[in-house]
Chain A
Amino acid sequence: MEAMVSDYSQYAWLIPLFPLLAFLVLTAWGRQMQELGSYVSIIAVFVSFVLSLLVWLERLGGSIDDYTWADTDWMKMGGFSLHMGFEVNNLNALMLVIVTLVSLLVNIYSRGYMHGDDRITVFFSYVSLFTFSMLGLVISENILMLYIFWELVGVCSFLLVGFWYYKPEARAAAKKAFIVTRVGDVGLFIGILLLFWYMPDHALDFASIHNALAGGKIPGAAITAIAILIFVGAAGKSGQFPLHTWLPDAMEGPTPISALIHAATMVAAGVYLVARTFDIFTASPAAMTVVAVIGGFTAIFAATIGIAQYDIKRVLAYSTVSQLGYMMMALGLGAYTAGIFHLFTHAFFKALLFLGAGSVIHAVDTQDIRQMGGLGRQMKITTWTFAIGALALAGIVPFSGFWSKDAILSAAYHTNQPLFWVGLAAAFFTAFYMARLFFLVFTGRSRTIVQAHESPGTMTFPLIVLAVLAVLTGFVFTPFNPWLGTWLTGQPAEEKASFVVMILSTVAGLAGIGAGWLLYGKTFTGADPLQKKLPAIHQVLNRKYYVDELYEAMIVKPLRGLGNLLHLLDDGVVDGIVRLFAKAGFGVGRLGLGLQNGNIQTYGLVTLLGLVVLAVLFVGGRLIYAG
């Protein structure tokens, strides 16, 4: 089929604008609108979703040209000018649908979850701003524009994590999120600068990057440096080791935004960035190895922490870090489609799990799973949808997670065996902590303080939609039907149907669930068996391998000390000099004061001295010449 020009892609620039409009409306009139403000946000996102769906469905045919519009000259310096514009290709279109759909469901859910909060319109305005930023990031045409939106989503994350700002933990978590991702962003910015330096014509748009790398115009060492720096930025945003510490703390924010930002969209921005600049990575095998190794390490690192956490949201947060590690590992191994596919499925089942957790928290008023139990009896819809999400995450056939994880693991099996075993171990732990979570929360004796009841329709409807998606989205890329691969990369894709991998991953998943059932199922007495049998290991895992404490000692304390030192310097030296000048002026004044003593003989003396000076000035010159 010939490549066709698309009809809808040229209107793609409207997609981010509706949430932006909602943000402006809610900021201006939110206080008067109160709970009606939620409808503004929901309608705006819905319109964006419809448009994204149109753009995407049109591209499903398979051969629409990439659409780029970059005619706005934003900045001109000498011979170089920076363009702003947008680009729509198959990857973008998919991301647009993911972001708008999850955002729409979260908006609907938030109407129920945030009901009664007196800053609800502020919340919706921030969510709309975030949706705008994320959509803008997705359709960015050049990497600098992406960076601008990258920072914007960071700001929105900060605002939303610290939404309940009167809680000191929320304030601290918001600052931590922003600062840690900022560290990554510095790396990204340096990467962009290097790219600017080396690119022919200093062009920064993705099409030019693709062409420059295909033409081999950038020296190899520079490519590796740029790729690693871009990955540093992606690691910050996507919570890879060692910049992962902000994500679990970001759970202080309201649960709907944990679902939206820290599960489905913003943290996926890192993976998306690597995918967008994939040409740079493929040109540098060293960088690919770095990405794959860090991804794999993060996957197992976070999974082991997850098995010892007692806060329902923190378990899911570490799960997110771990799954993002899988995605990075996939991209690092060259399995572009597998990584994006896992992003696609993960967005839905992780958002489902978080919204389900929110439903639970809404019902029992606590986040500690030791104070939950037996909720399956009272909260049927939540339980069933959560179970579907958990099975998808654990990678059980035929749910979506199985197919996407299988794609990643088979890529690892064929290219890098050690990483395959790491991935498999992480899959075991994933299944284990999800089973632990499920059994502790939904089965067994009730340990709750309040009587639980099912959540309202606005909250259960998104759960059902996401559960359906968690089941169905897996079938777009299976070994028997690699449609997604062909559609995304434009090249025919085949996924070898490796039964070894499928069987091993299923065994790992079932083993994890079985272990969870044994330890936390029927026989659970109220005390954590893992803590009883392996207290030292449990302690280390519970304290997250003491990474936060390490950062506190290595980075935070010295910086604080430096800050105090500089403060002393500022107070003592700089302010001291200013005070010195003041005292000098004062002193001169004091001197002059001595002349004003009311004593006429002093005045006479001063007059005489003045006369002498004048005489010398007028006459002295002539004396010098005469002499």
Chain B
Amino acid sequence: MATVITPYLTLGAILFCIGLYGALSKKSAVIVLLSVELMLNAVNLNLIAFSKMGAKPALAGQIFSLFNITIAAAEVAVGIAILIMLYRNKGTADIDQMDSMKR
């Protein structure tokens, strides 16, 4: 069962697509951040699957996914901080209202 890599990659792809859909179409900024987290986790899955069952199994994949988790956490912290500042200035967390770069 563990020799075929396809199920893990499929799961990773599905999770990534769900996350992508959420990032591109949700109204609430918090949900968008959530979706970005989901995308990063899908990437982690891919990395670990390749580390164990890829063409050249190595430990590097797992190490890299540890890095990824760390970075995701840091990025979420900064993202929430920016979101809170944005909410304080604009009064809303709706992404569609954040269009001051328009033209």
Q: Does B96 contact A (CB under 8 A)?
A: yes
Q: Does A597 contact B (CB under 8 A)?
A: yes
Query: Which residue of the partner chain, among A598, A604, A608, contacts B98 with CB atoms under 8 Å?
Result: A598
Of the 9-residue stretches B18-26, B41-49, B55-63, B70-78, which lies at the interface with chain A?
Answer: B18-26
Q: List CB contacts (< 8 Å) of A586-609 with chain B.
A: 596-601, 604-605, 608
Measured CB to CB, the closest approach of chain B to A229, in angstroms, equals: 69
Q: List CB contacts (< 8 Å) of B58-103 with chain A.
A: 95-96, 98-103
Question: CB-CB < 8 A to A605: which residues of B?
Answer: 24
- Cα distance A601–B23 in the bound complex, in angstroms: 7
Contact yes or no, A601 B95, CB < 8 A: yes
- Cα distance A596–B95 in the bound complex, in angstroms: 15
Contact yes or no, A604 B99, CB < 8 A: no
- Cα distance A605–B101 in the bound complex, in angstroms: 17
Give the interface of B toward A (CB within 8 A): 20, 23-25, 32, 95-96, 98-103
- Main SS class of interface, A: helix
Contact yes or no, A599 B95, CB < 8 A: yes
Contact yes or no, B95 A600, CB < 8 A: yes
A to B CB contacts below 8 Å, 27 in the list: A596-B102, A596-B103, A597-B99, A597-B102, A598-B98, A598-B99, A598-B100, A598-B101, A598-B102, A598-B103, A599-B95, A599-B96, A599-B98, A599-B99, A599-B102, A600-B95, A600-B98, A601-B23, A601-B24, A601-B25, A601-B32, A601-B95, A604-B23, A604-B24, A605-B24, A608-B20, A608-B24
- Cα distance A236–B11 in the bound complex, in angstroms: 97
In the complex, what residue of chain B is closest to A604 when comparing beta carbons? B24
Question: CB-CB < 8 A to B32: which residues of A?
Answer: 601
Give chain A's interface residue range (CB within 8 Å of chain B). Answer: under 10
Question: CB-CB < 8 A to B95: which residues of A?
Answer: 599-601
Q: List CB contacts (< 8 Å) of A438-482 with chain B.
A: none
In the complex, what residue of chain B is closest to A607 when comparing beta carbons? B24
Question: CB-CB < 8 A to B99: which residues of A?
Answer: 597-599
- Cα distance A4–B86 in the bound complex, in angstroms: 114
- Cα distance A604–B19 in the bound complex, in angstroms: 13
- Cα distance A489–B82 in the bound complex, in angstroms: 113
Question: CB-CB < 8 A to B24: which residues of A?
Answer: 601, 604-605, 608
Question: CB-CB < 8 A to B103: which residues of A?
Answer: 596, 598
Question: CB-CB < 8 A to B96: which residues of A?
Answer: 599
Question: CB-CB < 8 A to A596: which residues of B?
Answer: 102-103
In the complex, what residue of chain A is closest to B26 when comparing beta carbons? A601
- Cα distance A597–B100 in the bound complex, in angstroms: 9
- Cα distance A600–B29 in the bound complex, in angstroms: 11
- Cα distance A598–B96 in the bound complex, in angstroms: 9
Question: CB-CB < 8 A to A599: which residues of B?
Answer: 95-96, 98-99, 102
In the complex, what residue of chain A is closest to B23 when comparing beta carbons? A604
Measured CB to CB, the closest approach of chain B to A613, in angstroms, equals: 16
- Cα distance A562–B64 in the bound complex, in angstroms: 83
In the complex, the 3 A-B pairs of residues with the closest C-beta atoms, listed nearest first? A598-B99, A598-B102, A598-B101
Question: CB-CB < 8 A to A600: which residues of B?
Answer: 95, 98
**Can you name 14 extra interface pairs (CB under 8 A) apart from A598-B103, A599-B95?**
A596-B103, A598-B98, A598-B101, A598-B102, A599-B98, A599-B99, A600-B95, A600-B98, A601-B24, A601-B25, A601-B32, A601-B95, A604-B23, A604-B24
Q: List CB contacts (< 8 Å) of A567-617 with chain B.
A: 596-601, 604-605, 608
Question: CB-CB < 8 A to B101: which residues of A?
Answer: 598
- Cα distance A596–B24 in the bound complex, in angstroms: 16
In the complex, what residue of chain B is closest to A603 when comparing beta carbons? B101
Question: CB-CB < 8 A to B23: which residues of A?
Answer: 601, 604
Measured CB to CB, the closest approach of chain A to B74, in angstroms, equals: 20
Measured CB to CB, the closest approach of chain B to A356, in angstroms, equals: 83
In the complex, what residue of chain B is closest to A599 when comparing beta carbons? B99
Question: CB-CB < 8 A to A608: which residues of B?
Answer: 20, 24
- Cα distance A11–B30 in the bound complex, in angstroms: 106
- Cα distance A599–B102 in the bound complex, in angstroms: 8
- Cα distance A605–B23 in the bound complex, in angstroms: 9
- Cα distance A599–B98 in the bound complex, in angstroms: 7
- Cα distance A596–B99 in the bound complex, in angstroms: 9
Measured CB to CB, the closest approach of chain A to B89, in angstroms, equals: 16
In the complex, what residue of chain A is closest to B20 when comparing beta carbons? A608
Question: CB-CB < 8 A to A597: which residues of B?
Answer: 99, 102
In the complex, what residue of chain A is closest to B101 when comparing beta carbons? A598
- Cα distance A597–B95 in the bound complex, in angstroms: 12
Measured CB to CB, the closest approach of chain B to A617, in angstroms, equals: 20
Measured CB to CB, the closest approach of chain B to A515, in angstroms, equals: 93
- Cα distance A600–B32 in the bound complex, in angstroms: 11
Measured CB to CB, the closest approach of chain B to A387, in angstroms, equals: 91
- Cα distance A608–B25 in the bound complex, in angstroms: 13
In the complex, what residue of chain B is closest to A605 when comparing beta carbons? B24
Question: CB-CB < 8 A to B102: which residues of A?
Answer: 596-599
Question: CB-CB < 8 A to B25: which residues of A?
Answer: 601
Measured CB to CB, the closest approach of chain A to B63, in angstroms, equals: 27
